Amino acid sequence: MVEVALQPSRHKLVGQPLLYAISVFASLGVFLFGYDQGVMSGIITGPYFKQFFNSPGPLEVGTMVAVLELGALATSIAAGRVGDIIGRKGTLFTGAIVFTIGGAIQTFTSGFYMMIVGRVVSGCGVGLLSTIVPIYQSEISPPNHRGALACMEFTGNIVGYASSVWTDYFCSFIDSDLSWRIPLFVQCIIGAILAAGSLLMPESPRWLIDTDQDAAGMSVIVDLHGGDPTNLIAQAEFQEIKDKVMYERELGEGRSYAVMWKKYKRRVLLAMSSQAFAQLNGINVISYYAPSVFEEAGWLGRDALLMTGINSIIYVLSTLPPWYLVDRWGRRFILLSGAVIMGVALAFTGWWMYIDVPQTPKAVVACVIIFNAAFGYSWGPLPWLYPPEIMPLTFRAKGVSISTATNWAFNFFVGETTPYLQEVITWRLYPMHAFYCTCSFVLVYFLYPETKGVPLEEMDAVFGEEERLDYESERASLMSGARSIDRQSISSGQRPKVNSPTERGWVSRLLYRNDRSTYEPIRDGEE
């Protein structure tokens, strides 16, 4: 056991209150890029916006909406290196400041090109935030609540989207350019709040330990475990993180992107695929262009904005069940079931537009709401949770930066092409994305291992990269019971064990009667 002289805690909050306070402030980061993704959907259909920009065509509108992703793509790649150098907290602060500056440029734009500059600058802030927030959240979360806290964070993203939609709707009643400038200015206020709040948040303990700031790292771990320096669980967690850091250093393989690709190619590809299909599955056809979709279906003017607002409320509500389910049902089942529902909803959206009957407007609204709800429950939150879970500490920032860059690359592709495809292939756009939902189902079913309840330092075992495994873990059970810490091992001075459940849920017993392919924790004597 490494002896560490603890630094006095500067945080008045400890334990779960501190954990939840961190999660709330971190969620402001995803609130921001949720707001920024949704705010353009309403203002681009407004008469004063169209008049100011001289009735922009589909490609101009697509560029104004999607160019944000180019800035996000650039900085999400850089965020891997930035997050390792200045830390998770410093990257969060920098991202909030850059985003706020970009929002100000958009608010006070004098024309098309200045708007493009503002969108790119905001995108740079979004790239930093969207990369570092999931990393930060995963590194301060306990294994048995990591999924729930990440899903709460995604709810913040969708609350941001819904807030932008309703802000657009209420500002549409203003008869001046303020009808679109006010919604853009709101993001500046939120960005400033996040920048100020990030200064009060603790640094990631794993980053501190990885940079040899052991005392500071141990202090944060102690605070997260209730503030008692003698807490044996906190001491064991510190020791496990420190052991993993020292083991990686002893390998002496370096920490470049090339080494990461060579050693963890499968993990990187899985992380990238999760973010790619989150976009290919069709969400930004709805998020960016929901009013346009509803107008195409027959809802006109402000009614299209109203339908978008109603849809956004249900979208927010759909993100709540994963808080409870993701650490109980696991990641795989939620992704699989979400892909099925989304694919069916998109197929029916295209079909109703194709037959174009009087019932089509209401039917399309129903299909879009079902699609959004399924995405909010599954492919919305989990692609932000999965990459930081499966990447090791030494490459976590770089791995997540690559996966997040993939998100923004496909985000840009979908955002740029959607207005054009809506005009050229019309109703066929939606079955096309339904096909991608089918592809994502196949990918998850055959290639994604279950990571529910696995400590970050033991993720090697899930991928079969340690000789300790006596079986393959890829076929992890979709639904296995929770694990508990063996406190007897802690009291005897050993590393804590994680006990497998004596009973599994009835679904697991029914589907996996003779299956032993669930994750088994590292135990004493197996090292």
3-class secondary-structure state, position 514: coil
CA dihedral 271, 275, 276, 282 (to 10 degrees): 150
Q: Residue 292 has what pLDDT?
A: 66
Q: How far apart are CA 236 and CA 486, in angstroms?
A: 12
User: Are 491 and 511 spatial neighbours (Cβ–Cβ below 8 Å)?
Assistant: no
Q: Which helix (H) or strand (E) holds 444?
A: helix 429-447
User: What residues contact residue 93 under an 8 Å CB cut-off, 6+ apart?
Assistant: 195, 198, 199
Sign of the CA dihedral running 219, 223, 229, 233? negative
Which tens digit of pLDDT belongs to each residue from 131-158?
888 889 888 888 777 888 888 888 888 8
What the block records as the tokens of 368 is: 């879009």
What is the rounded radius of gyration, in angstroms, for the C-alpha atoms of the chain? 23
Let me know the angle formed at the C-alpha of 378 by 374 and 383, rounded to the nearest 5 degrees: 140
Which tens digit of pLDDT belongs to each residue from 493-507?
444 444 443 344 433
Q: Which residue in this structure is represented by tokens 């592709």?
A: 413
What the block records as the tokens of 6 is: 């603890």
Q: How far apart are CA 103 and CA 206, in angstroms?
A: 32
Number of other CB atoms surrounding residue 271 within 10 Å: 24
With a cut of 50, list the residues of the chain below it in pLDDT: 467-527
Q: Which is nearest to 187 in space by CA: 66, 103, 94, 69?
A: 103
Query: What's the first-to-final CA gap in the chain, in angstroms?
Result: 16
User: Are 410 and 280 spatial neighbours (Cβ–Cβ below 8 Å)?
Assistant: yes
Q: Residue 184 has what pLDDT?
A: 93
Q: How far are the Cα atoms of 11, 223, 295, 349, 474 from residue 426, in angstroms, in the given order?
A: 55, 55, 12, 11, 40
Q: How far apart are CA 466 and CA 458, in angstroms?
A: 10
What the block records as the tokens of 120 is: 């790119």
Q: Which is nearest to 217 in space by CA: 375, 457, 9?
A: 9
User: Are 282 and 437 spatial neighbours (Cβ–Cβ below 8 Å)?
Assistant: yes
Q: Does the pTM of the predicted model rise above 0.85?
A: no
Which tens digit of pLDDT belongs to each residue from 390-434?
998 889 989 999 998 998 889 888 877 877 887 888 889 999 999
Sign of the CA dihedral running 353, 355, 356, 359? negative
Q: How far apart are CA 154 and CA 498, in angstroms?
A: 28
Q: Residue 244 has what pLDDT?
A: 85
Q: Which is nearest to 68 in space by CA: 40, 91, 92?
A: 40
Q: How far are the Cα atoms of 34, 391, 457, 474, 484 from residue 460, in angstroms, in the given order?
A: 33, 9, 8, 12, 20
Backbone angles phi, psi at 258, to 5 degrees: -65, -45
Q: Residue 297 has what pLDDT?
A: 63
User: Are 38 and 187 spatial neighbours (Cβ–Cβ below 8 Å)?
Assistant: no
Q: Give burial (CB, 10 Å; 0-12/13-18/19+) of 262.
A: exposed
Q: How far apart are CA 438 and CA 412, in angstroms?
A: 22
Q: Residue 523 has what pLDDT?
A: 46
